[in-house]
Amino acid sequence: MIDEMTRKLLKLPDQMAAMIGKTYAVQGDDFELSDDEVLLRIRDILESIDPEIIERNKNRKRIQRWD
């Protein structure tokens, strides 16, 4: 059986994509969520998975790209 953290991590990309899909960057003037709202929601999801993740990473000097 998948543990709770793994289940949350597996859902994370779809949750983020659903929120980002409602922003100005994707929908233009028909956006449903502001950038600030999406960032706050993503922050909340990340902190629900690992309460210390943002604090632990907030001073990183370099942000890695996936490409």
Question: Where along the chain do its domains lie?
Answer: 17-53
pLDDT one-digit tens code per residue, 48-67: 989 999 999 989 888 777 76
Name 67's Cβ contacts closer than 8 Å, sequence gap at least 6.
none
Q: Please give the radius of gyration of the chain, using alpha carbons only, rounded to the nearest integer.
A: 14
Tell me the torsion sign for CA atoms 64, 37, 28, 22. Answer: positive
* Contact indicator for 44, 16 with CB cutoff of 8 Å: no
* pLDDT under 50: residue ranges of the chain: none
> Measured on CA atoms in the order 10, 12, 17, 19, is the torsion positive or negative?
positive
pTM confidence score: 0.77
Contact in structure between 32 and 22 (CB atoms under 8 Å): yes
